[in-house]
């Protein structure tokens, strides 16, 4: 059995991936226009009564523009000529005398006899279909649709998640047409193929399952699928100078009504444009991203997709300045963009700036001035948030340690313990300062013990006792000093 297998065009998905990159590159030229790649003007000479709003010829003209093929170019002129010849053939008396069912099937056979040679999933361009014979489901569907229309058939376009095809109205009912297969007319019907051996006939069956969940689309939306595929391919190569105008041309060509598919295309415009902003961010071009974003939101109505992009871009830009320690620029950026931020981001960024201040400004000060500064910052309501409180206490601990360090270096352990105790009055919950205080007092007791040992060994018992009595007041309950006191008292005969 010789089976003909359908190969379907997979959807080229738009990816929206917010990223957080925190360094800035030198600016590049990012002046990508927010205008359609073209504005389609119908050829009035080709319009005929009953064939509105666009003729088959105009649909092919539009498909060339979505293929980035100028109509007056050599390829454009050749393509239009070849289509005109095919359109004349399917409108000839020979075709007109056929039943609608036979005519629909004959058109598909004509396409493969004259034009279609090689299937290629990612090739949607109409000039490539006509001049090289390379096609996919989108371009072959456009060709079938326009020829069926020219032949006087009632033809409808459909798409599924990853495929497009047509159907025609016939005396046998609505018939699906799988245009990527020369035997794809009326899928699911067994057809006789030329004999391939002594066993006689062989058959081809195109499974009906390929057409589950189909959605009816307009002729304009079918043609605009070419622009959608090419826009996606361009975006994969970061060629937004082509991708964005093509996507906007799709919306302009189809129209913005819900029934035309305009809502879906508006969504794709949003995704393509915001992907460009994310691309600039991935290149660490935050200023360029914001400049272009500002221009875009002044021309295009915002949506949840845009809002997420705005929030992410401003957030990353401010974080870039915070990581540099440039609090002033971070605050300026926030003040500039505050009105377009979502409530969540508008509330989050001031906390980030507050924490950025804690992580930056006190480190250029002496410990005493830094602690005074932190006391002032503690009065900020943001210091009462969980994150603000954590960073504030951690920063205070650091500067109390900085006050203690030089005293420890001079072995002034009691003075260091006194400072640690002051820190504990400021931060009662600090396990770190409590540990430092204990260590300093223990070290202070060791120093006293060593001084006592020297005096004791010299027989200066009274002087040693006085030293220990002062020491035990400074380090109450220290077992080493208590033991030393007992020993020197025995030496004194007490």
Q: What is the pLDDT of residues 134-190, one digit of tens each?
A: 999 999 999 999 999 999 999 999 998 788 999 999 999 999 999 999 989 988 776
pLDDT at 209: 65
Q: Classify residue 278: in a domain, yes or no.
A: yes
pLDDT at 70: 97
289 and 219 together in one domain: no
Domain boundary among 344, 359, 374: 359
Mean of per-residue pLDDT scores for the chain = 87
299 and 265 together in one domain: no
| pLDDT per residue as tens digits for the range 194-221 | 544 444 443 344 456 666 778 899 999 9
pLDDT at 160: 85
276 and 300 together in one domain: no
pLDDT at 257: 64
Residue 24 has pLDDT above 80, yes or no: no
Q: Classify residue 431: in a domain, yes or no.
A: no
Counting the structural domains of the chain, the total is 2
pLDDT at 193: 54
177 and 217 together in one domain: yes
253 and 304 together in one domain: no
Domain that holds residue 326: 285-359
Q: Classify residue 210: in a domain, yes or no.
A: yes
Taking residues 22-37, what's their average pLDDT?
64
Q: Classify residue 256: in a domain, yes or no.
A: yes
101 and 161 together in one domain: yes
Q: Classify residue 454: in a domain, yes or no.
A: no
DSSP lists the bridge partners of residue 170 as 173
pLDDT at 259: 56
pLDDT at 45: 60
pLDDT at 31: 75
272 and 307 together in one domain: no
262 and 174 together in one domain: yes
Q: Classify residue 490: in a domain, yes or no.
A: no
pLDDT at 104: 97
Domain boundary among 267, 282, 297: 282
66 and 197 together in one domain: yes
Residue 1 has pLDDT above 80, yes or no: no
pLDDT at 191: 62
Domain boundary among 359, 392, 407: 359
pLDDT at 203: 39
Q: Classify residue 372: in a domain, yes or no.
A: no
Q: Classify residue 371: in a domain, yes or no.
A: no
């Amino acid at each position: 059995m010789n089976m003909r297998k359908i190969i379907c065009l997979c959807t080229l998905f738009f990816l929206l991936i917010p990223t957080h990159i925190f360094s800035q590159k030198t600016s590049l030229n990012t002046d990508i226009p927010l205008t359609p790649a073209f504005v389609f003007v119908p050829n009035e000479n080709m319009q005929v009564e009953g064939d509105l709003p666009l003729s088959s010829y105009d649909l092919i003209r539009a498909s060339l523009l979505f293929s980035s093929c100028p109509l007056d170019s050599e390829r454009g002129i050749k393509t239009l000529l070849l289509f005109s010849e095919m359109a004349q053939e399917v409108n000839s008396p020979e075709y007109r005398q056929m039943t609608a069912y036979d005519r629909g099937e004959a058109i598909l056979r004509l396409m493969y006899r004259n034009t279609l040679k090689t299937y290629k999933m990612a090739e949607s361009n109409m000039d490539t279909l006509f001049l090289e014979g390379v096609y996919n489901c989108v371009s072959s569907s456009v060709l079938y649709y326009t020829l069926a229309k020219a032949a006087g058939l009632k033809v409808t376009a459909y798409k599924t998640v990853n495929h497009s095809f047509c159907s025609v109205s016939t005396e046998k009912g609505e018939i699906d047409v799988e245009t990527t297969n020369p035997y794809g007319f009326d899928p699911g019907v067994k057809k006789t193929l030329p004999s391939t051996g002594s066993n006689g006939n062989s058959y081809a069956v195109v499974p009906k399952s390929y057409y589950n969940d189909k959605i009816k689309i307009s002729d304009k939306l079918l043609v605009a699928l070419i622009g959608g595929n090419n826009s996606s391919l361009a975006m994969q190569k970061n060629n937004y100078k082509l991708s964005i105008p093509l996507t906007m041309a799709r919306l302009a060509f189809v129209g913005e009504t819900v029934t035309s598919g305009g809502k879906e295309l508006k969504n794709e415009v949003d995704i393509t444009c915001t992907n460009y902003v994310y691309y600039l961010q991935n290149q660490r071009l935050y200023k360029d991203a914001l400049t272009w974003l500002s221009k875009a939101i002044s021309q295009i109505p915002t949506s949840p997709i845009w809002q997420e992009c705005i929030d992410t871009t401003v957030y990353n830009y401010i974080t870039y300045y915070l990581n540099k320690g440039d609090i002033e620029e971070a605050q300026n950026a926030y003040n500039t963009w505050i009105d377009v931020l979502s409530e969540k981001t508008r509330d989050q960024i001031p906390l980030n700036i507050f924490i950025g201040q804690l992580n930056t400004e006190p480190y250029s000060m002496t410990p005493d001035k830094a602690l005074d500064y932190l006391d002032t910052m503690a009065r900020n309501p943001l210091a009462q948030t969980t994150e603000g409180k954590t960073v504030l206490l951690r920063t205070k601990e650091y500067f109390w340690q900085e006050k203690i360090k030089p005293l420890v270096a001079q072995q002034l352990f009691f003075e260091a313990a006194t400072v640690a105790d002051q820190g504990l009055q400021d931060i009662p919950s600090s396990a770190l300062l409590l540990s430092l205080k204990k260590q300093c007092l223990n070290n202070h007791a060791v120093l006293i013990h060593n001084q006592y040992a020297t005096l004791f060994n010299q027989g200066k018992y009274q002087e040693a006792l006085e030293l220990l009595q002062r020491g035990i007041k400074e380090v109450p309950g220290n077992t080493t000093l208590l033991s030393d006191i007992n020993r020197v008292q025995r030496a004194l005969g007490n």
